[in-house]
Structure formats: C-alpha cells, structure tokens
Structure 1
Amino acid sequence: MIALIGAAIAPGIALLSYFYLRDTLEPEPISMVIREFIFGVLLAFPIMVIQYIIQTEWGLTNEYSHAIINSAMIEEFFKWLVVFLTAYKHVEFDEPYDGIVYSVAISLGFATLENFFYLILNGEETALWRALLPVSSHALFGVWMGYYFGLGKFTDKPNRKQWKLVAAFVIPFVFHCLYNLTFTVMKDEWWLVIVPFMIFLWYHGLKKVQLAHDYGSKKADTRPH
C-alpha cells in the first residue's frame, strides 16, 4: 500500500514542484500552494458525486457524453471555479505567473486523488502511463487556465478582462475534450494522436510559462520603486 500511495502522489508532487520552482520573480507562499493543492484533492469528491448523478439520473452514459460533459466540462469548470474563488482575488495573486502556480496546484491535487483511486482499481503497473498522460495532462490544462487567469487579472484593458476569464475555462475544456475523445475514437491506436498532442501541450504550455514570466517582469519594471 505504501508503494501504491507513493506511485499515486509522486507525479503530482514532482510536477507541482517543477512549476512552482519556475516562479523566479516572486515565489508564492508555500502554504498557499499547499492549500490550493488540498482544495484540488477535496474537489474530487463533489465532482465524483456530480458525475454519478449525471450518469444515473440524467442517463448520459454513452462514451461521447462521458468524454465531453461528464469528464472535461465538469472537471475543468469546477477547477476554474475553485481557482476563481480561492486564489484569483487573493492578495498573494500579485503577478501573472501566480495564475499558473495556483491553477496547476488545484489541477494536480485533483489529478493526484484521481490517480490514487485508479491505481487501487487497476494496480501499480499502470503508474508510469498515468504519470505520463493523465496526471501531466491535468497539469498542462492548469497551465493554460492559469495563464489566462493571469492575463485577466493584470490586463491593462478592462474590457478584455472578462474574455480572458472565459478563455481560462474554455481553452482547458477544449484541450480536455480533445484528449478524452482521442481515446474514445482511436481505440487501440490512440497513441498515434496522443503522443503528438502531448508534445504540443508541453511545448506551448512551456511557452505560456515564459510569456507569463515576461509579462510579470514588464509589470514589475513599471511599478514605483
């Protein structure tokens, strides 16, 4: 059991540490990051209840509705909501990259508990696959979400703020849909699509990390000293 717990939580902790340590401008209080990670863990429980209700009460049980509504939409919306309610308006959210840190923390908290349940049901032999795909994909969805949260909070054009907040949900949702539908449509040949898709997410996700840093640096340079 100890080995299984380690295999379940290690990918999430490693990825969160990586994105946290990329914050070279003004690192967030570790207590805040841990808090958001815990919020992500706790978020898994109401999401599972809602997903169960959608399947049993609403009758949305086919694989396409599960991929789009029951998984991508529900999970990304509630992650977005928790970031907005607990981090977006917090005083510690004081530079654009902070959106990425907090969104990734919540996403990985959720993914870590999900990973734990999956490994209990399917065994430790699936741990590497889970780390490379589901856990890291949640982290990358969090990067895109956090990037647009950062733009929304610090944009110099107030009329664009709402659009950035909408993008913080819509873009991760679309990517999550594409991720899920790859396994639904491609069946045994899913790897032909998912490998280049994950490379795309990593490449452009890391570019978003750099852009958020650059944007934050410009903001810091304009502050009065």
Structure 2
Amino acid sequence: MPIGMLGKKIGMTQIFNNKGVAIPVTLLNIGPCTITQISKQPEKVYANIQIGYEYINPKNLDKALLGYFQKKNIPCFKYLKEYKTNHWENLNIGKIISVKSFEVGSYINVVGLSIGKGFSGYQKKHNFTRGPMSHGSKNHRQPGSIGAGTTPGRVFPGKRMAGRMGHNKVCIKNLEIIKIDSSTNTIIIKGSVPGKTGNLIYIYNNMINQI
C-alpha cells in the first residue's frame, strides 16, 4: 500500500483467536478515495498526491471548489488530503483507491484527532497532586506558586497550567490489520485509534515519506 487513504472510525469491540484469547480491535470504514491531483517537481524525488473522500452535493460547495472539480472532470468531495510519496508512477487523476490495496497482517499508521476534554484543571490535565484536605486548608485544587516574584518577575513560556485538554492530532503507529471486508470498505485493526466514533482519520504505512 504505497498510498494514504481517508476514512472514519466505526467503533471498538473484541474478537477471539483460535486459542480463545480476546483481542481488542477497532473497526474502520476506509474509502473509497479518488486521486484528485498529482504534483511533481523536476528537482524533487517525490510527488504530492491529493485524494478526495466522501462525495458531496455540488450545491454545497463554493464556486472556487466547484470549478476546481469541474476542471479536472471528477466528482465533488467533502474532504481533501495531500501527502508525499515516492511511489507515484502508476497513479493518475481519477483513479479510485479502495481497501483492496491493503493486506491482512500488514501494519499501518493511523492519524486522527483525540477526544476533546474541554477546559481542564491542573490535576486532570497534568496529574498534579492536590493540596491538603484538612479543615482550614485553602489550597485544595489550586495551582500554588507559578514563579518567582522579583526575579525573573514573569512566568516562563510553557508553564504547565490549566487549559484546554485533548482535541490534538495523534498518530498511532504499527497497527496490525486483522480482517478486511471489501464489500463494505471496512477493515479491522488490532488496538485503538484516536478520536470518537465517526471521526475522520487518515491512514498510511511506512512506505509513504512524511516529509
């Protein structure tokens, strides 16, 4: 699989192998994706490949995107993703990529947005210890001192404090493909992937150069 694909997370479950051992797995609905653009510069050894995922009604697009798809004579897509790869010789615009390009037993990398936790405090976000809970203590979940007073007289950048938690780009590498169902464009992988059910994910393997 020298190309990347877009898909959505269906959910998690477990399956049992021949020895009766439970394996935690995640179900992913991948593709089909269509190659919408191939950009190759002469001085570069790689090419930029853009893929489209999930058809969309042209009425829901602005004129710029609508003209972009009409010029290339391809359907309109809701999501576009670009990546770099050295294996682009056999690719062309309009080619449809499906889960048939995967192999059972191979390993893939999955990128997605983690679940957002909202505005979180110090204990939840950074695993800080709380203050004494005895009577009279006024420091139960407060941050405490965040820096010196006169010198340096400021708070250094990167200080661990309360703030928004989660909703970050996370990559899980080397997830094994357990099963592939080409009729429903579904694959089952061992382990978990970031994000909630229905989140958009991007998958690729180590053959793609992420430059």
Q: Which structure is larger by alpha-carbon Rg, 1 or 2? A: 2
* Structure with greater helix percent: 1
Instruction: With the length of structure 1 as denominator, give the TM-score of the two structures.
Output: 0.24
* Structure with greater strand percent: 2
